[in-house]
Structure 1
Amino acid sequence: MAGTAIKVLARMIAERGGTAATRFDLEDPRDDTRLAAPILALEPLRGLVVLDEIQRRPDLFAPLRVLADRPGTPARFLILGSASPELIRTSSESLAGRVAHHELPGLGLAEVGESHWQQSWLRGGYPPSFLATNDQTSMRWRQELIRTLLERDLPALGLRLPAETLRRFWQMLAHYLVHAGDRRFPLAERVEALPLRALAALSES
């Protein structure tokens, strides 16, 4: 899944820094339990501290502010996770002046080469989809990704709408090229957490 690429990137950042790295996967009950008392668990750590799937523990932002303000900055925190509007707002309020947001895009033509533009246009930028052995395998991967987003990830971000309703809304977006701020559809006001992009046309009609 896409999260695998993010975890690989986090490991590369840790290795490039040349310092010790400690990782917490907040989907792992063991790591979640270790952070029951966040200050006590994180304060002794040095170097890079990776907190993965932070959307499961938004309560950690307030303790991170305390830790980020320590003299000498004994530890830096790499925070990974799905970015809902509420989560970004919470992190910006709690860590104002202490945090930078970076959106990780998919593979672009600069990485895959312009000669692969048709494959990129058809399969998208997620590495498992782009690098699939054939178009059918790529399509299955994308269908499973969409299913996971609609049935698990978006509800976990607080979006309380039936998965089938969200799927139909996505289909309307695909057909009518509606961008996230468009209010022609009343449902658009309730789905601000959806990862939407307005794509320019490949060519003029």
Structure 2
Amino acid sequence: MVSLLGPRQSGKTSLARAFAAKREHVHYFDLEDPRDWNLLSTNLTLLETLQGLVILDEVQRLPMLFPFLRVLADREKPSAQFLLLGSASGALAQNASESLAGRVFLIPVEGFSLNEIDDSQKLWMRGGFPKSFLAEDTQLSNVWRDAFIKTFLEKDLLAFGEKVSLQNVWRFWHMVSHYHGNLLNTSEIGQSMGVDHKTVKNYLDILCDTFMITALKPWFSNVKKRMVKSPKIYIRDSGILHSLLGVDDYNQLIKHPKLGASWEGFALHQILHVFQPRDSYFWRTATGSEIDLLFEHKGKLCGFEFKLNGDPSLTKSMMTALADIPLDSLTIVTPNSKTLALSEKATLVSLADVCARGM
């Protein structure tokens, strides 16, 4: 049993249909279609009669499916293979862990990445959603992203079963775009919106679960320094970030005060796409020393710093991190730098090279 997990419009259904085209017996159920939802919600046993490939699209819409899928997965001689498509990571991950633990393989589908696209500037500006990236011109790409945001707020959140003020979620999403690449202050945002910090945390969870926001957790080590405890926040797709900021083209982007933060978020998510770490963190002390991204890879603790200007030098912050935390490597990622060793553990590398070769 395999699950494709990612945001709406990221290409999950297209990928599933392309795979299905090579199979002889295929059964497709779209759980956003009331007919398919009603059919399965009233007759789950239909699934045990099917043979071949069974595709269940937007599977998080019908939580009662998961215990039954566990029964089917445990059959001695299963007659069908199941491909699950989901757009809400929290709902799907919870149900999968409770009912399908050890029975389902999760594959993230997050739109286009640098491993697939040669034009990094266009990918950064428009983001990875296929219809945004492939639009005939910049204006049509902007129109698609604006429509995506509107549909997500007015339709998708309701479809996911979220009972919240859609206007407040929009305000929060827009405010987060201005925190992009910085620590999230839930109390400050709550005061601005007239809600408490628990409500802000709920909005954050919703947008993280639906792949709109990434919230990096702070990494703690046994050092005698005060560490920050707030999450570091990013709009997940760079094109959506630019739409929320009102940035319509590359000329506007390079003059925008969030230019550096935009590229940091773009590069960070490309790295996460390549390495798929189980958990990802940032490191920052109360005095301001910081590493943008930390995760374990093949048993080693890897750190990443993102520098738009490509300055080939170790900063005081980097040297503090190398001294204070047990990093096995520190990669300083820039747009176009040639690979250069800066110390025994620190290396300057272009984003394209990191994505192409991994670690």
- Whether TM exceeds 0.5 here: the answer is yes
The structure whose Rg is larger is 2
Contact (CA 8 Å) 1:26, 1:54: kept in 2 or not? yes
Q: Does 1:12 align with 2:18?
A: yes
Residue 175 of structure 1 is matched in structure 2 by 178
Q: Structure 1 CA distance, aligned partners of 2:184 and 2:79?
A: 41
Structure 1 runs (4+) greater than 6 angstroms displaced: 179-182
Shift of 1:43: 0.9
Residue 115 of structure 2 is matched in structure 1 by 110
Contact (CA 8 Å) 1:179, 1:196: kept in 2 or not? no
1:196 corresponds, among 194, 205, 213, to 213
User: 1:152-171, aligned counterparts within 5 Å?
Assistant: 152-171=155-174
Residue 145 of structure 2 is matched in structure 1 by 142
User: 1:88-99, aligned counterparts within 5 Å?
Assistant: 88-99=93-104
Tell me the secondary structure at the aligned position of residue 108 of structure 2: coil
Percent sequence identity over aligned pairs: 41
Cα-to-partner distance string for 1:55-113 (whole Å, 9 max, x where unaligned): 22111111111111111221111111212413320221011111122221111122120
Contact (CA 8 Å) 1:2, 1:127: kept in 2 or not? no
TM-score scaled by length of structure 1: 0.86
Q: Structure 2 CA distance, aligned partners of 1:103 and 1:60?
A: 21
2:49 corresponds, among 12, 31, 44, to 44
Contact (CA 8 Å) 1:14, 1:48: kept in 2 or not? yes
More helix by share: 1
Residue 69 of structure 2 is matched in structure 1 by 64
Residue 92 of structure 2 is matched in structure 1 by 87
Q: Does 1:21 align with 2:126?
A: no
Contact (CA 8 Å) 1:92, 1:99: kept in 2 or not? no
Evaluate the alpha carbon distance shift between residue 46 and residue 139 of structure 1 in structure 2; reply closer, same or farther with a 3 A threshold: same
Tell me the secondary structure at the aligned position of residue 116 of structure 2: helix
Shift of 1:193: 2.0
Residue 287 of structure 2 is matched in structure 1 by none
Residue 126 of structure 1 is matched in structure 2 by 129
Q: Structure 2 CA distance, aligned partners of 1:182 and 1:72?
A: 53
Q: Structure 2, unaligned stretches of length 5 or more?
A: 1-6, 190-196, 215-233, 235-264, 269-305, 312-359
Q: Structure 1 CA distance, aligned partners of 2:17 and 2:183?
A: 33
Contact (CA 8 Å) 2:26, 2:54: kept in 1 or not? yes
Contact (CA 8 Å) 1:180, 1:196: kept in 2 or not? no
Give, as a single letter, the amino acid of the residue that structure 2 aligns with 1:193: I
Shift of 1:37: 1.4
After superposing the two structures, state which structure 1 stretch, 149-158 or 57-66, moved more.
Answer: 149-158
Q: Structure 1 CA distance, aligned partners of 2:183 and 2:103?
A: 28
Count of equivalent residues: 201
Cα RMSD (Å) of the superposition? 2.5
